[in-house]
Chain A
């Protein structure tokens, strides 16, 4: 009996310690181990809509246009396209494609595959969430709504030089940015037709990228392997092993145990612990956190009340509370983006705030109607809301009720019964201010305030089509002024950041504000 016990213990200990070898026959020394956070919902790049999926996609599939991730301005660089030019006042775009590129199965890359990608994204049967990316294209919206059946009527053609010519509904200066997204990347119609929904399985999928998908062990891990047939500079690390660890604290534990090379997001409470560690980095984020007013009902149908609330909040208190290096925001365009202005928006001014509230007819604060601040259940949102509540109480003498709900219930409430003040945020899809300003147009599905200002809508449209950079900057200045100083339907609070952990052997990691992690240039010390 004892002998068996000893024997078992020996086998047991023998089995537990073999850290040089990973599962799937990988070796630690040429494998970058990262946490994808969740199972990728889809690596069909036309349909994918979440960050986990795109973290896989940007390794295995190139987009038409890429980014220079080392450039803080995130300038565009050729990827599958070599050149792009506007004509007709940015209403027509001509895109020249790279020649001699091959898919992972050796098939040639062709212009038709780009058109197929556009068609698939817009086809109503695909039901892709990002279809609206191509809505600026002529007739694209009608095709997506099923009003036009023939894709030939949509503004995307191949000219006799094999270039893609895109006709837009209206001039649009930042159209090329839409081609940096995975949803607009070319597709292999033959593969998709052959395998149906299963085309993304490792044994079926074909891609053009620095890595290719080798293993997809659902709910557990993804293995990517260097694609030696890649047209560009080959990836430096042979394998990427992406785990699917939902719990941040678990992932951080694994990082501490030396089992992860890269982890994004750290639980807020553990942040102070990690801030001093060597692997800690902060990536800027093109994102904003804001509160919106429900302007359809009193008291926030009154401009002075909105101004009072916006001026009664010291944003710095909130960013200090979060303590990860978020920056206070009073304007609408987040820190680090073209058009950002430090001085824009209403600053913290409790005196002016109290006066504005008096002017609104609430000199007697007990007459102020009962108001609710709504947010989705989350520890951070709770802390921010409590701080906001306390600041309003202190600076204005007004009580706010807090109400939190489960995410989907909350989203549903925003649409049907918007709280007096609501929380939302936005993360850039591409580094252009239009991505943020368009949120608050009267026709935007993301504008829950009920604010309608024709002048603002016009400014946003003018900004989208302006080609001259300085003219654009001036337009966005006016738009932001209207939004955050004149009409004040929203209170911007802060621009977010993203804490990262990188193991010491990782070099050349492209920390960037878009949080787009292209790993082909990463190497080990």
Chain B
């Protein structure tokens, strides 16, 4: 009972926050804190109640190890990559190059640079960007990540809101024209790349119909196109998976029993089919979050959204070592945590899951 109330209130709070952010209302810190408390408190309480503490702690330790491996590999790969941060079109005189290398400790022996970096990393210091003079990597992340998360959350929501109903209808009405058209749309959604979809949507909805803005990130009218385009591909994946899963459930014994009992089809659908067929869909959340994270670069570029995905890509062409390392680590941590969250979520909805 407590769990249910708790869960519902977390859900309501999250919805409120998302809506507020969408309509550009200032979200008070108190709300953030309350939400963080509810969410993390819930997660901790749940893991303890289900006896999963050891599992979670183990996974978190694994995360630290993963971060170390990724940091070391990235560090090494960057030094193998030809071309350095100060190789520019207008070649610099040797004296100036030497000054720059001294300033950023690039003339130190490699092992020393590595140890220094690891030491700073252990203290939570990601260093300073080479390209954006005087800007900390941490502050770049703090300033741009929220926009990316905002976009990612909207896209994820859209993908569920579009994908699940489509999949359920297609599965429920298997073989009908509804099924065919839904699956046709889903296949198109999976196969159309976003850099093609974006111009089509911009031409249609921004210039043709004038409903939304063609680019920038300033309010609801600006959010719709990027979030829909970013969400469509995962929505298509979800729709196909939901359909398959609904079909599987429909043909199972307990649905036949329910039908034999004379339950009306609405109850069967909402009470029995939906709930059970959504479990596999939920397990997809981790990989989906990953797809949205990596897919956001193109969308952020096309819509000029001040997000972090741009830095992940452009830092490499700038050979901005600290920024490459910082963004790579950030993305890996986010992926690991998204997978952990999915595992825990699975344990919540499916009592059969054993960790």
The chain A residues found within 8 Å of chain B, CB to CB, are 11-12, 15-17, 23, 39, 41-42, 44, 47-49, 124-129, 131-132, 135, 141, 144-145, 196-198, 200, 217-220, 243-247, 249-251, 253-254, 256-257, 259, 406-413, 415, 424-426, 444-446
Contacts and interface: CB of A to CB of B under 8 A. Distances in A.
B23 A11 contact: yes
Taking residues whose C-beta sits less than 8 angstroms from the other chain, chain B's interface range is: 35 or more
Nearest to A199: B134
B95 A257 contact: no
Nearest to A147: B95
Given A16-B221, A124-B102, A446-B90, A257 B132 contact: no
Nearest to A257: B214
5 shortest A-B CB distances, which residue pairs?
A408-B83, A16-B221, A197-B134, A42-B133, A445-B91
Nearest to A254: B215
Contact of A127 (B82, B90, B99): B99
B100 A245 contact: no
Contact of B95 (A145, A249, A250, A259): A145
Given A245-B215, A247-B302, A408-B83, 6 more contacts: A129-B86, A131-B96, A218-B306, A250-B214, A250-B215, A412-B83
B133 A197 contact: yes
Interface of B: 23-24, 81-84, 86-96, 98-100, 102-103, 128, 131-135, 139-140, 143-144, 199, 202, 206-207, 211-221, 301-304, 306-307, 310, 314, 317, 319
A254 B214 contact: yes
23 contacts: A15-B219, A16-B212, A41-B132, A124-B99, A127-B99, A131-B95, A132-B92, A144-B95, A196-B134, A218-B143, A219-B306, A243-B216, A246-B304, A249-B199, A253-B206, A256-B207, A406-B83, A409-B82, A411-B88, A411-B89, A412-B82, A412-B87, A413-B82
B93 A445 contact: yes
Contacts of A250: 214-215, 301-304
Contacts of B214: 250, 253-254, 257, 259
Contact of B87 (A125, A217, A408): A408
Contacts of B132: 39, 41-42
Contact of B131 (A41, A217, A251): A41
B304 to A, nearest CB: 4
Given A218-B140, A243-B216, A257-B214, A408 B90 contact: no
A434 to B, nearest CB: 14
A253 B216 CA distance: 11
B87 A141 contact: no
Contacts of B87: 408, 411-412, 415
B215 A253 contact: yes
A89 B90 CA distance: 30
A253 B202 contact: yes
Given A250-B214, A409-B83, A411-B89, A44 B303 contact: no
Contacts of B83: 406-412
Nearest to A15: B220
A219 B217 CA distance: 11
Given A411-B89, A445-B93, A246 B310 contact: yes
A24 B79 CA distance: 42
Contact of B100 (A23, A129, A256, A415): A129
Contact of B133 (A47, A406, A408, A424): A47
Given A125-B103, A246-B304, A424-B89, A220 B217 contact: yes
Contacts of B88: 49, 129, 411
Contacts of B217: 220
Contacts of B90: 426, 446
A492 B67 CA distance: 50
Contact of B213 (A12, A16, A200, A445): A16
B319 to A, nearest CB: 5
Contacts of B96: 127-129, 131-132, 144
B207 to A, nearest CB: 7
Contacts of A23: 218
A257 B207 contact: yes
A373 B347 CA distance: 59
A218 B134 CA distance: 13
Contacts of B133: 41-42, 44, 47-48, 197
A18 B133 CA distance: 36
Nearest to A200: B134
Contacts of B218: 23
B221 A219 contact: no
A145 B97 CA distance: 10
Contacts of A198: 134
B228 to A, nearest CB: 14
A141 B213 contact: no
Contacts of B310: 219, 246
Contacts of B98: 145
Contacts of A249: 199, 302
Contacts of A247: 301-302, 304
Contacts of B319: 408
A352 B87 CA distance: 39
A126 B103 CA distance: 8
Nearest to A245: B304
A122 B134 CA distance: 18
Contacts of A426: 90
B23 to A, nearest CB: 6
Contacts of A251: 304
Nearest to A196: B134
Contacts of A410: 83
A11 B206 CA distance: 19
Given A127-B100, A218-B143, A256-B207, A244 B304 contact: yes
B23 A254 contact: no
Given A16-B221, A253-B214, A257-B214, A218 B144 contact: yes
A197 B132 CA distance: 11
Contacts of A124: 95, 99, 102
Contacts of A41: 131-133
A499 to B, nearest CB: 20
A144 B99 contact: yes
Contact of A254 (B93, B216, B317): B216
A152 B135 CA distance: 32
A11 B163 CA distance: 25
B89 A257 contact: no
